[in-house]
Amino acid sequence: MSQSTDPVGELHLRTQAFPADANPAGDIFGGWVLSQMDIAGAIYAKKRCHGRTVTVAIDSMSFIQPVFVGDVVCCYVSAHKEGNTSLAVKVEVWAVRENDTKRVKVTEGIFKYVAVDGNRKPRSINSKEVQE
Ligand SMILES: CC(C)(COP(=O)(O)OP(=O)(O)OC[C@H]1O[C@@H](n2cnc3c(N)ncnc32)[C@H](O)[C@@H]1OP(=O)(O)O)[C@@H](O)C(=O)NCCC(=O)NCCS
């Protein structure tokens, strides 16, 4: 996969990978990266949909390069596709290695969220969440 030079989207989450997030081989566990991406996508979706959303699907996920303990992990989110009650977003993860200033794209994926009302039922992404 070719390496682009700049992230696409807006920064929605920035954190650091800790030893507790590693797999038995010492690299960062893919499930930890995926959960950071889901959090970042959900922050974007909640704002766009004016209230609560739930994750309904992960349509694609590519692990491009490993994440290491100590990396600063940044999740960038952009709109991918809007439906009636659902919204798909692209999440790119870029890592800044410890003792380095250069960032590298490590992961990307498409996450889909559904806007829900107070009864957890789908609502238009353009409506405001109403507690029922
Ligand atoms: C998301 C949820 C509310 C959808 O309920 P539902 O009765 O299936 O709703 P609908 O059939 O009316 O579909 C609603 C939207 O979701 C989309 N959708 C539903 N199931 C989907 C799936 N498996 N994959 C992709 N999109 C899906 C539909 O295409 C529709 O989008 P649109 O309105 O933009 O066209 C329900 O499936 C749910 O609560 N899932 C659990 C969510 C969850 O716990 N997530 C993890 C923690 S946040």
84 lines ligand 1 (CB under 6 A): yes
pLDDT single digits (tens) 48-61: 999 999 999 999 99
Q: Which atom of ligand 1 is nearest to the CA of 125?
A: 34
Residue 2 in this model has a pLDDT that exceeds 60: no
Mention every residue, 6+ apart, whose C-beta is less than 8 A from residue 109: 34, 37, 58, 59, 60, 61, 62, 90, 91
15 lines ligand 1 (CB under 6 A): no
- What does pLDDT average to over the chain? 95
Probe ligand 1: pick from 46, 60, 114, max atoms within 8 Å of CB? Answer: 114
Nearest CA to ligand 1 atom 1: 56
Ligand 1 within 6 A of CB of 122 = yes
pLDDT tens digits, 25-45: 999 999 999 999 999 999 999
Which residue's alpha carbon is nearest to atom 48 within ligand 1?
54
CATH class of 10-115: alpha beta
CB 130 within 8 A of CB 117: yes
Q: Which residues are within 8 A (CB) of 79 and not within 5 positions of it... i.e. 6 or more apart?
A: 48, 87, 89, 90
pTM of the prediction?
Answer: 0.95
